[in-house]
């Protein structure tokens, strides 16, 4: 969880980008790193596996203000996509403050998406984290491809929602990014909550900062 550095007056928060192999996690981080001002970011660390890289860097957003006089420094990580690197995935999740799941929109990658999502829930549970209570956002990447699955199908498989047991939260909550859609709604007598989602084409940068801003704001809410 977030660490406070009193010497630098900074709150350090850890964001982890999770998802199937080659789904766009690394591309997201590379795009963010390229666009963030040099003075606001640390060095990018890259750990190469046989098929992809695990990346890490930290940066200090200039537009988010301060919390009780402290600036917020975000540390962004990707995890390896392959299942046989699960020990690394689990280790990277330790101390996480917010999770972005980057799904590959291609129809033939649906099974890999579902497997990675289940793996995320399992690994979070092993750390004692409840993903339904942590800042969590989904990005549906590769929306430009001709074989991209409809958003409704992706939502049904990866973001169907979970029951809202807390009576104080059992009220409609509109999705601020999509008129007519809800993050919390009553479906046939059962209150369901979904996480925010964004469409992306990470190679072009589409949706990359929308996703990052969303997860950052959700993390800041937990600190306020």
Domain-by-domain residue ranges, the chain? 3-159+195-223, 161-194
Give the CA distances from residue 111 to residues 72, 89, 116, in Å, rounded to whole numbers and listed in that order: 36, 19, 9
- pLDDT tens, residue by residue, 131-150: 999 999 999 999 999 999 99
- Total-model pTM: 0.94
pLDDT over threshold 80, residue 64:
no
Rg (alpha carbons) of the chain, rounded to whole number: 17
Q: Which CATH superfamily is domain 3-159+195-223 in?
A: P-loop containing nucleotide triphosphate hydrolases (3.40.50.300)
Give the whole-angstrom CA distance, residue 77 versus residue 25.
9
- pLDDT tens, residue by residue, 90-112: 999 999 999 999 999 999 999 99
């Amino acid at each position: 969880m977030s660490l406070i550095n009193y010497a630098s007056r900074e709150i350090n928060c850890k964001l982890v980008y999770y998802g199937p192999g080659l789904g766009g996690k690394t591309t997201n981080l590379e795009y963010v790193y390229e666009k963030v001002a040099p003075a606001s970011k640390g060095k990018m660390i890259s750990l190469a596996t046989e098929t992809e890289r695990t990346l890490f860097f930290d940066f200090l957003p200039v537009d988010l203000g301060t919390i009780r006089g402290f600036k917020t420094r975000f540390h962004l990580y990707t995890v390896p996509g392959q299942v046989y690197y699960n020990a690394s995935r689990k280790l990277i999740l330790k101390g996480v403050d917010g999770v972005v799941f980057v799904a590959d929109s291609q129809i033939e990658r649906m099974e890999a998406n579902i497997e990675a999502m289940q793996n995320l829930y399992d690994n979070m549970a092993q750390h004692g984290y409840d993903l339904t209570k942590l800042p969590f956002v989904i990005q549906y990447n590769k929306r430009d491809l001709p074989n991209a699955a409809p958003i409704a199908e992706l939502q049904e498989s990866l973001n169907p929602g979970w029951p809202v047991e807390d009576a104080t939260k059992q009220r409609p909550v509109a999705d601020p990014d999509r008129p007519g859609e809800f993050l919390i709604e009553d479906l046939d007598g059962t209150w369901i909550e979904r996480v925010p989602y964004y469409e992306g084409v990470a190679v072009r940068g589409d949706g990359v900062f929308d996703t990052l801003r969303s997860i950052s704001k959700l993390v800041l809410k937990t600190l306020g």
